[in-house]
Chains A and B, each alone.
Chain A
Amino acid sequence: MHDRSRSNEEALKLSAAAAGYDERLVFSDLDLSVARGRVTALCGPNGCGKSTVLKAMRAMLPLREGGVFLDGKPLSGWAPKALAREIAMLSQSPSAPDEMTVADLVNLGRYAHRRGLARKGTADREAVAAALAATDLPDLAHRPIGTLSGGQMQRVWIAMVIAQAAPVILLDEPTNHLDIAHALDTLSLVRRLSHEEGKTVVVVLHDLNLAARFADDIVFLKEGRVAAAGPVARIFHAQSIAEVFGIHCRVLLDEETGRPFCIPLAARGG
């Protein structure tokens, strides 16, 4: 088990990292750390490297320089299953055959916990049942996923990630294609996972107000660099947003939630 008492320590860290695709370098000399047991939102304009950073954190993209560290240990040369037991990840557009049932799909999240020929065990069944319960899906367990709505489907993917039982969870735009009600639902669930079960969550979000509402920390990325990073209250202000997104905006505080929110006014120079 991981020691949850050491909260606010670094769970995941990129150090002097450089990565990219083919000719294109997306980021270089990037230092970024993620606090244990908290929800960290990665925000930034299109093409700033959010998804690439997430992939690098999961060691899915080879680094050209620098390193990724999980609990201080370098994340290279790990066996695929061992790595999956530590870090779960949901990509932007996951897919599976339509006729597959919800329970069968969630069960695929248990792959990293099976050894060799071992069949589905009690621990697997319990983990799948718990993941379905956490995402409010038990009634749909045996429905083919092709029959689900977009919001339900997103919950199924998150259930699969929960079933993987990794202490670190990376989510790439989990609220994409969701209406506001389902987006709120999904992010409340993400927040519960972190605050009740101590998961370290990194989530790429486009909507700044959702990030400010649900994240503990925000990392603002711009052109492959960290423009600002820290607790929401400290870095979510008009000036940092102007700098990162190139817009004028007003940032106010919602008294009920104690969270800041931003009202975009105009693109700078527009």
Chain B
Amino acid sequence: MTAVAAMEIPRAPAHGRAGRLAALLLFLGAAAVTGVALGSSSMPLDRLLPALVGQGAETDRLIVWGLRAPRVLLSALAGMALALAGLLLQRATRNPLAAPAVLGISDGAALGAVGFLFLFSDAANALTVGIYWQPVAASCGAAVFAVLVAVLARGAGGGPVGLVLHGFALGALAKAGVTLLMIAGPVYRASQASIWLAGSVHEARWSDVAVLASLMALVLPVLLVLTAHMDQLLLDDHSAEASGLPVRRTQALLMALAVVLTASAVSFVGAIGFVGLVAPHAARLLVGARALPAIAASALVGAAMVVMADILVRLAFAPLEVPTGAATALIGAPYFLFILFRTGRAHA
């Protein structure tokens, strides 16, 4: 045994995994600064930098800190939450097509949030309970739809594509629910429907940023504890179980975390689609399948996606406010079709 013990396997070349993560972080930073600088009145660096550190003109400071910074931060946090939710769902279901929007969980969360607004607003459109209940309501909606899709897909079978079909059907149902509640509610609320149906960050407030950041601060440590279990789920069910992983319990836990992450994002920015699908795939291409780097890379890619989508809709369609989700769908939907095609062929 001693000869073997002394014999260390040669270390794997790190393949610049850390370097790629650092590059992603830089990219996100640059996107965030761009997001603060650009808008209906774009701001050159010599005005932006002083404003960022609290100097410069009053209006610049107001635009930067009052409007754009929370918007960029909210975009980044929501992107992270959705990307991580997608990663967890893809791991838990071993389905490359799984994502919060694809499985109807985003729309379920939106229905929960809109239902909450419908039930707990008074005639003056003021909430009769605290706003922090909104993520809770969204979580309930998301959880109901997650359980429904899981139960229906298990009962019917049909493999990876079957799961997606059930998700789409349930998502359509939830969307219809959101639309109905919007129309049934006061007229001015119908204008907000686009937020809930397609997702938008244009009403970002610091209080939103604070709540979403706190939720992320709660969930991230749990995710880090779960990395070893997530790695074990790379094996098939049987092998994972034999290696000592309580498979069903772990899957349920990952799904529950995905529900909370989705609901947190959706309660503040609505159902921005395709981030949860595309970001984990991009992350896997960049850093591989291991959970820890995959978590970091998915979060960074997701954040950058939403920040950039927001910049795109602000610039390309100004002065109109196009939902951010429209831009993410523009990139995400073709990619989704590509994976759908590949998965369908692999399981044919």
Smallest distance from the beta carbon of A176 to chain B beta carbons, Å? 14
Indicate if the CB atoms of B243 and A112 lie closer than 8 Å: yes
Cβ contacts under 8 Å, A88 to chain B: 242
Q: Known contacts A99-B289, A111-B243, A111-B245: does B10 contact A142 (CB below 8 Å)? A: yes
User: How far does the alpha carbon of A133 sit from the alpha carbon of B1 in the complex, in Å?
Assistant: 11
Interface size on A, residues (CB 8 A): 40
Complex Cα spacing A94 to B236, Å: 6
Least CB distance, A199 to chain B, in whole angstroms: 15
**Residues B12 and A142 in contact, CB atoms below 8 Å apart:** yes
Residue A114 at the chain B interface, CB threshold 8 Å: yes
Within 8 A of B (CB), among A48-72: 58, 60
Closest chain A residue, CB of each to CB of B235: A96
Tell me whether A164 is interfacial, beta carbon within 8 Å.
Answer: yes
Of the stretches A28-36, A100-108, A201-209, A223-231, the one at the interface is: A100-108
A99-B288, A100-B234 given; A108·B243 CB < 8 A? yes
Nearest-Cβ distance from residue B263 to partner chain A, whole angstroms: 27
A111 to chain B, nearest CB (A): 5
Q: Mark B233-270, 1 if CB is under 8 A from A, else 0.
A: 01110110111111000000000000000000000000
Point out the residues of chain A lying under 8 angstroms from B242, CB to CB: 58, 60, 84, 88-91
**A116 vs B5: C-alpha distance when bound (angstroms):** 25
What chain B residues lie within 8 Å of A97 (beta carbons)? 234, 289
Q: Could you say which residues of chain B place their CB within 8 Å of the CB of A83?
A: 244
Q: A80-B246, A84-B242, A94-B236 are in contact. Are A129 and B9 (CB under 8 A)?
A: yes
Residues of chain A within 8 A of B289, CB atoms compared: 97, 99-100
Minimum CB–CB distance for B290 against chain A, Å? 7
Q: Which A196-218 residues sit within 8 Å CB-CB of chain B?
A: none
B122 within 8 A of A: no
Q: Is the CB of B243 within 8 A of A117?
A: no
B49-98: which have CB < 8 Å to A? none
Q: How far, in Å, is A17 (CB) from chain B's closest CB?
A: 19
B225 within 8 Å of A (CB atoms): yes
In the bound complex, what is the Cα–Cα distance between A109 and B235 (angstroms)? 10
CB < 8 Å A-B pair total: 87
Kindly state whether residue A12 has any CB partner on chain B within 8 Å.
no
A130: Cβ under 8 A from any B Cβ: yes
B200 contacts the other chain (CB 8 A): no
Residues of A within 8 A of B243 (CB): 84, 108-109, 111-112, 160, 164
Counting chain A CB atoms within 10 Å of each CB, which of B4, B7, B239, B244 scores highest? B244
**Docked CA distance A100–B287 (Å):** 11
Bound-state CA distance A112–B235 (Å) is: 14
CB distance from A145 to the nearest CB of B (A): 11
Q: Which residues does chain A contribute within 8 Å of B228, judged by CB atoms?
A: 111, 114
Interface string of B271-308 (1 = CB under 8 A from A): 00000000000000000111000000000000000000
Q: Which residues of A contact B241 (CB under 8 A)?
A: 60, 80
CB of A81 within 8 A of CB of B244, answer: yes
Chain B residues with CB under 8 Å of A125's CB are 8-9
CB closest chain-B residue, reference A106: B9
Tell me which of B1, B8, B235, B288 has the highest count of chain A C-beta atoms within 10 A of its own C-beta: B235
CA A99 – CA B12 in complex, angstroms? 14
Question: Which of chain A's residues have a CB closer than 8 A to the CB of B231?
Answer: 108
B232 beta carbon closer than 8 Å to chain A: yes
* Distance, CA A112 to CA B241, complexed state (A): 10
Which residue in chain B gives the minimum CB-CB distance to A104?
A: B290
- Decide if A91 touches B12 in the complex (CB within 8 Å): no
What A residues does B9 contact at CB under 8 A? 103, 125, 128-129, 132, 138, 141
B339 to chain A, nearest CB (A): 15
- A85 is an interface residue with CB less than 8 A from chain B: yes
Measured between beta carbons, the chain A residues less than 8 angstroms from B225 are 116-117
Assess the B8–A129 pair: CB atoms within 8 A.
Answer: yes
B12, A103: Cβ atoms closer than 8 Å:
yes
Complex contact B234–A94 (CB within 8 A): no
Nearest-neighbor residue (CB-CB) of B3 within chain A: A133
Contact A129 B4 (CB under 8 A): yes
* A161 to chain B: closest residue by CB: B242
How far is it, in angstroms, between the C-alpha of A132 and the C-alpha of B288 when the chains are bound?
22
B232 touches A94 (CB 8 A): no
Can you show 30 pairs from A to B with CB atoms below 8 A apart?
A: A60-B242, A84-B244, A88-B242, A89-B242, A91-B239, A94-B236, A94-B239, A95-B235, A96-B234, A96-B235, A96-B239, A97-B234, A99-B288, A100-B234, A108-B232, A111-B245, A112-B244, A116-B225, A117-B225, A126-B5, A129-B4, A129-B7, A130-B5, A133-B7, A138-B9, A141-B9, A142-B10, A142-B12, A160-B239, A164-B243
Residues of A bordering B, CB below 8 Å:
58, 60, 80-81, 83-85, 88-91, 93-97, 99-101, 103-104, 108-109, 111-112, 114, 116-117, 125-126, 128-130, 132-133, 138, 141-142, 160, 164
For the complex of A and B, the 8 pairs showing the least CB-CB separation, nearest first, are A84-B244, A112-B244, A89-B242, A91-B238, A81-B244, A94-B239, A130-B4, A95-B236
19 additional A-B residue pairs with CB within 8 Å, beyond A101-B12, A138-B9? A90-B242, A91-B242, A95-B236, A95-B239, A96-B236, A96-B239, A103-B9, A112-B244, A116-B225, A117-B225, A126-B4, A129-B4, A130-B5, A132-B9, A141-B9, A142-B12, A160-B239, A160-B243, A164-B243
B interface, CB within 8 angstroms of A: 1, 4-5, 7-10, 12-13, 225, 228, 231-232, 234-236, 238-239, 241-246, 288-290
